[in-house]
Amino acid sequence: MIKIFWVEDQSHWIDKFRALLERTDFAPGAEADLPEAEHNKLEVFKFSEAALARISQTDDADAPHIAILDASLNGNDDGGFSVSRALLKKWPALPIVFLSEHSGTGIEQKAFEQGVTQDFIAKHQRNIEGVLLWRMKALLRQSLTPAANKKSQLVSGELRIDLVSWEVWWKGQKLMNPANQARPLAPTPRKILRFLVEASPRPVTTLQMAEWLDADLEKFSYANYRQHIKTLRKSLALAHGDEEAFMNLCKAGQGIATFGAEGAYLWKAPA
Amino acid sequence: MKDSNSAEETLQTEDHGDKFIFRIRYPWRTLLAAKSLLFYALLLLSPALADMLKIPAFIFSTQYFSAAFAAFLILAWLDFRHFSRQQRKVKASLQQLWNSKRQLQQRAQTSASHTDKLKLFISDKLLEYMEYDEKYLHFKSIAAEVRHNGVISFDKVQSALTYAASHSLPDEQGNNALLYQQALVGMRYLWDLLDLSTTDNMALHIGANVSRCEELLFQAELQGSALSELPLVPTFDPQRALLDTLTLHLGVTLCDEQGNPEPAFLYDADALAQLSAQQDKPLLLTDSEGLYRIELQPCDELLGNANHIVLLLENLLRNAQFFATKRQYKSRFAPIAIRLWEAQQCLCVSIYNRGPHISDESREQIFQLGFSTRRAREHNGKGLGLYFAQQIVQGFDGDIGFDNIHNHSELYHLRIELAGGEVQNLNLEVTLNAAGEPQVCLADSNAGAAKQWELRAEKRLHSIEVSSRSNPQVARLTLAEGINQWFDPHNPAQPQWLISLSGRKADLLSFMPLDIRGVQFSVRLPTLNGRLDGVGAAGLEPDVDELGAGLRAPDDF
């Protein structure tokens, strides 16, 4: 059972999602619905003022697990923003989802620019129920994962690879496609980086990498491997902030370093 | 004119650079001479005074007086001449000063009028833009309000239609709730149009959506799960998007190759995919009005929202439809040819229409906002369609362009076989007239070129073989009952000739070169597998840097 803090000014959406949010088991890997006695606890507010008052009165022990906010509340485009700021001030690690009809507009842009949300979901999209639950599960996964199973991350120095979501972070920055920073990094470079980090400090040859990737040996050549390494280095360099400095690290045998003459590369966390 | 005596002063001007110095000069020589002459005259009139002053008497002779008077006149003349010269100089200087002042004044007036005009122009434009901005903002706020209030209605209608579609019984044709499905598709398209119209940057908005879908695709790939297991299917079938555009949004009644309207596979996604994949040759479709020739080849899925591609295709096809229905662009073959295929992990779509060529000057402007290929007087030429098309293509990391299609001169070889085995070989030359239209005549003959060439056969025709100088491959036409015309089989989308039979005994054969002038728009978008392999992110240009990868040393960083 989790506690959901929900601010929504239109009854239609409350009616539509209430039962769904109450009975869904957000625990990682859970498939079946929760039994009625263990239903999630929903706190629904129609006005931002009421939500703000509740935040100020709530103890840390009673803190919600996740918040769902409508961006525009009763004609006030900043309604959701003010609630989000109050929530983050009190519980900085609280996952917040914006559920709004203003997807693709300046409101979404502002929400991400101001860092008041981790996700912005359009209400009018196809299969909105499925999308909402899926995104909430993704946000709740870290906080709801039992401590024993928390080894879902691969960490090497400043590099962090989430082994479930496959997101890769360098110095707190998510690795993106170097050719277009708005797009995600392609899957093969992510897989290659994971294998390099797992094998570290041993180098991985083209043949070994092809086997690990389960790739066709006729198609996966050193040229492919090298191209993916180039993409990875560029992506890491962009996240590093100083592109030249990161490339110099690689040249000096750190980060993703070239090894020997057999088309091998290795991962060595920069000191 | 002033007398020298009456001239009290002379103004002398000296030009020292750009400043004038005025110096007063008195005619002292003349004045002194006049005074001396008067004194001389006084002495002449008063001899007592001369005696008292003891002046010799010979001085008072007439010669001396005349000489003195003459000397006075000479001095007076010299002074007068000098005065006149100075006066002219001063006048010229004043004139020059006046002229320069007038020029300055004129220049000031011109500048002032230019400034006024500029001010007026700027203020007009400013007002215009302010007005546009206000209208735009007004529109935006209305759209945002509509969106805000409409989203609940949209959700209710969508939920109701989804429920109705899943609970309705099959209709007479066995289609399960086809109308509900179509209504849902239409509703979602309407919503996506509203969604796009309220974004600040269409390309960025679509790009962000594609990125979200790409992340879903990558997650499925990395975790080894099927796309269908995701809460939202991030891909769509471009063939289906094209057929939906034609049937649902342009109201076209599609027919199969045999001309049977609305074949069942058009409404069944799986059947269409199977049919398209199984066929060795492309799937051909036409329409009931004879406007379209559609060629579909198997192709990979695309990432993103199908409705964005529908909007792109709708704009390009509406443009093509506009020209296809104009009288001057009519043709003997389908005036709109659509081709969809896959090449190098990219989906390629080409749309040909018989419209007028686009000039080189317009090449750069054609995709700009407000530029229209249609004449300004025409009702629909708002210059939005191609701008939208380009924005959408940019959002999908693809590219869009066009080619002008021209007629060509050609030499055709006809081998006509008559009943009884008799064979006739003919060479036909196609040339272009001043208007660029093709004309035909018998090669090496004196006959003038005409729109079509005719031959009255003495016996029944058995078969015709056609080849050309640029394409020696022979097209063999076997004459059978019921068929009386054949289009160039080598260029089915833009056939370059038409052979037809007429006459009472079908004995009149005619060869007509066809006017294929028009414009072909081409769109290229990275496919699903192209995305996985990294096509599109860096544009579709080859990576020049990587061309020499094989030549580098293995330890080259």
The span from the CA of B228 to the CA of B224, in Å, is 12
Are the Cβ atoms of B232 and A130 closer than 8 angstroms? yes
Are the Cβ atoms of B232 and A177 closer than 8 angstroms? no
Q: What is the mean pLDDT of residues B145-155?
A: 84
Q: What is the mean pLDDT of residues A231-251?
A: 89
Nearest to B218 by CA among B526, B538, B525, B529: B529
Are the Cβ atoms of A124 and B151 closer than 8 angstroms? yes
Are the Cβ atoms of B537 and A180 closer than 8 angstroms? yes
Express the helix, strand and coil content of chain B in percent, nearest 5 each.
45, 20, 30
Are the Cβ atoms of A102 and B148 closer than 8 angstroms? yes
Name the residue facing B231 among A127, A179, A184 (closest C-beta): A127
Distance from CA of B246 to the nearest CA of A (A): 23
Q: What is the mean pLDDT of residues B436-452?
A: 84
More confident residue, A78 or B127: A78
Q: Using CA coordinates, name the residue in chain A closest to B191.
A: A124
Q: Which two tokens stand for residue B84?
A: 């006149």
Are the Cβ atoms of A166 and B222 closer than 8 angstroms? yes
Write B281-289 long-range contacts (CB < 8 A, 24+): B282/B341, B284/B256, B284/B257, B285/B254, B285/B255, B285/B256, B285/B257, B286/B254, B286/B255, B286/B256, B286/B257, B286/B259, B286/B334, B287/B246, B287/B252, B287/B253, B287/B254, B287/B255, B288/B252, B288/B253, B288/B255, B288/B261, B289/B252, B289/B253
Picking from A223-237, B115-129, B321-335, B518-532, which range would have the lowest pLDDT averaged per residue? B115-129
Distance from CA of B541 to the nearest CA of A (A): 12
Q: How confident is the model at residue B141 (pLDDT cuts 50, 70, 90)?
A: confident
Contact residues on chain A for B207, CB-CB shorter than 8 A: 182-183
Name the residue facing B219 among A166, A222, A231 (closest C-beta): A166
Q: What is the mean pLDDT of residues B520-527?
A: 94
Q: Is the pLDDT of residue B18 over 70?
A: no
A residues 84-103 closer than 8 Å to B (CB): 101-103
Q: Does A219 touch chain B (CB under 8 A)?
A: no
Q: What is the largest CA-CA distance in chain A?
A: 67
**Could you identify the residue written with the tokens 């439809």?**
B321
Classify residue A101 as exposed, middle or buried by CB count within 10 Å of its CB (0-12, 13-18, 19+).
Answer: buried
Q: How confident is the model at residue A147 (pLDDT cuts 50, 70, 90)?
A: low
Q: What is the mean pLDDT of residues A37-57?
A: 91
More confident residue, B543 or B207: B207
Are the Cβ atoms of A184 and B554 closer than 8 angstroms? no
The pLDDT value given to residue B538: 42
Q: How confident is the model at residue B20 (pLDDT cuts 50, 70, 90)?
A: low
The 10s digit of each residue's pLDDT in A102-141 is 877 778 888 888 888 888 898 888 888 888 998 898 888 7
Are the Cβ atoms of B537 and A191 closer than 8 angstroms? no
Report yes or no: B387 and B368 within 8 Å, Cβ to Cβ: yes
How far CA B425 is from CA of B469, B489, B498, in Å, comes to 15, 20, 18
Express the helix, strand and coil content of chain A in percent, nearest 5 each.
45, 20, 40
Report yes or no: B422 and B458 within 8 Å, Cβ to Cβ: no
More confident residue, A256 or A215: A256
Q: Does A133 touch chain B (CB under 8 A)?
A: yes
Q: How confident is the model at residue B369 (pLDDT cuts 50, 70, 90)?
A: confident
DSSP letter for each residue of B412-472? EEEEEEETTS-EEEEEEEEEE-TTS-EEEEETTS-SPPBS-EEEE-SS-EEEEEEEESS--
Q: Does A221 touch chain B (CB under 8 A)?
A: no
Q: Cα–chain-centroid distance for residue B515?
A: 25
The pLDDT value given to residue A182: 79
The span from the CA of B329 to the CA of B323, in Å, is 6
The pLDDT value given to residue A194: 92
Are the Cβ atoms of A166 and B549 closer than 8 angstroms? no
Q: Which of A12-16, A143-147, B473-477, B546-550 has the highest mean pLDDT?
A: A12-16
Interface mutation vs chain A, best among B137, B141, B145, B152, most A CBs within 10 Å: B152
Contact residues on chain B for A193, CB-CB shorter than 8 A: none
Q: What is the mean pLDDT of residues B3-13?
A: 43
Amino acid at the residue B268:
D
* Cα distance from N-terminal residue to C-terminal residue, chain B: 100
Report yes or no: A47 and A76 within 8 Å, Cβ to Cβ: no
Q: What is the mean pLDDT of residues B247-259?
A: 86
The pLDDT value given to residue A237: 92
Are the Cβ atoms of A125 and B232 closer than 8 angstroms? yes
The span from the CA of A121 to the CA of A137, in Å, is 14
Nearest to A161 by CA among A136, A192, A182: A192
The pLDDT value given to residue B527: 92
Are the Cβ atoms of B195 and A124 closer than 8 angstroms? yes
Q: Using CA coordinates, name the residue in chain A closest to B553.
A: A261
Distance from CA of B547 to the nearest CA of A (A): 11
Picking from A27-41, B127-141, B301-315, B387-401, which range would have the lowest pLDDT averaged per residue? B127-141
Q: Is the pLDDT of residue B133 over 70?
A: no
Contact residues on chain B for A131, CB-CB shorter than 8 A: 231-232
Q: Which two tokens stand for residue A129?
A: 């129920």
The 10s digit of each residue's pLDDT in B391-410 is 999 999 899 999 999 998 99
Residues of B with CB under 8 A from a CB of A: 144, 147-148, 151-152, 154-156, 188, 191, 195, 198-200, 205, 207-211, 214-215, 218-219, 221-223, 230-232, 397, 531-534, 537-538, 546, 549-550, 554-555, 557
Q: Is the pLDDT of residue B461 over 90?
A: no
**Could you identify the residue written with the tokens 């109450």?**
A22
Q: Using CA coordinates, name the residue in chain A closest to B530.
A: A186
Contact residues on chain A for B156, CB-CB shorter than 8 A: 12
CB pairs under 8 A between A and B: 101
Of all residues in chain A, the percent with pLDDT exceeding 70 is 96
The pLDDT value given to residue B373: 65
The pLDDT value given to residue B11: 44
Contact residues on chain A for B210, CB-CB shorter than 8 A: 183
Picking from A33-42, A140-149, B4-13, B347-356, which range would have the lowest pLDDT averaged per residue? B4-13
Q: What is the mean pLDDT of residues A178-188?
A: 85
The pLDDT value given to residue A262: 66
Q: Cα–chain-centroid distance for residue B373?
A: 8
* Cα distance from N-terminal residue to C-terminal residue, chain A: 43
The pLDDT value given to residue B221: 84
Q: How confident is the model at residue B262 (pLDDT cuts 50, 70, 90)?
A: confident
pTM of the model: 0.73
Interface mutation vs chain A, best among B141, B145, B147, B151, most A CBs within 10 Å: B151
Whole-number average pLDDT of chain A: 87
Contact residues on chain A for B537, CB-CB shorter than 8 A: 177, 179-180, 183, 186
Distance from CA of A129 to the nearest CA of B (A): 9
Are the Cβ atoms of A177 and B537 closer than 8 angstroms? yes
Name the residue facing A106 among B200, B214, B222 (closest C-beta): B200
Are the Cβ atoms of A184 and B214 closer than 8 angstroms? yes
The 10s digit of each residue's pLDDT in B164-179 is 888 877 776 666 677 8
Helix (H, G, I), strand (E, B) or coil at B16: strand
Picking from A61-75, B18-32, B470-484, which range would have the lowest pLDDT averaged per residue? B18-32
Q: Using CA coordinates, name the residue in chain A closest to B546.
A: A227
The pLDDT value given to residue B444: 79
Helix (H) or strand (E) holding A96: strand A96-100
Whole-number average pLDDT of chain B: 81
Are the Cβ atoms of B211 and A183 closer than 8 angstroms? yes
Q: Which of A208-217, B59-68, B396-405, B525-534 has the highest mean pLDDT?
A: B396-405
Are the Cβ atoms of B554 and A262 closer than 8 angstroms? yes
Are the Cβ atoms of B198 and A126 closer than 8 angstroms? no
Q: Is the pLDDT of residue B375 over 70?
A: no
Distance from CA of A62 to the nearest CA of B (A): 31
The pLDDT value given to residue A223: 84
Q: How confident is the model at residue B15 (pLDDT cuts 50, 70, 90)?
A: very low
Q: Is the pLDDT of residue B108 over 70?
A: yes
The 10s digit of each residue's pLDDT in B65-91 is 888 889 889 988 988 888 888 888 888
Q: What is the mean pLDDT of residues B223-237?
A: 84
φ, ψ for residue B423, nearest 5 deg: -120, 140
Contact residues on chain B for A12, CB-CB shorter than 8 A: 152, 155-156
Q: What is the ipTM of this complex?
A: 0.79
The 10s digit of each residue's pLDDT in B281-322 is 788 899 988 899 999 998 899 999 999 999 999 999 998 988
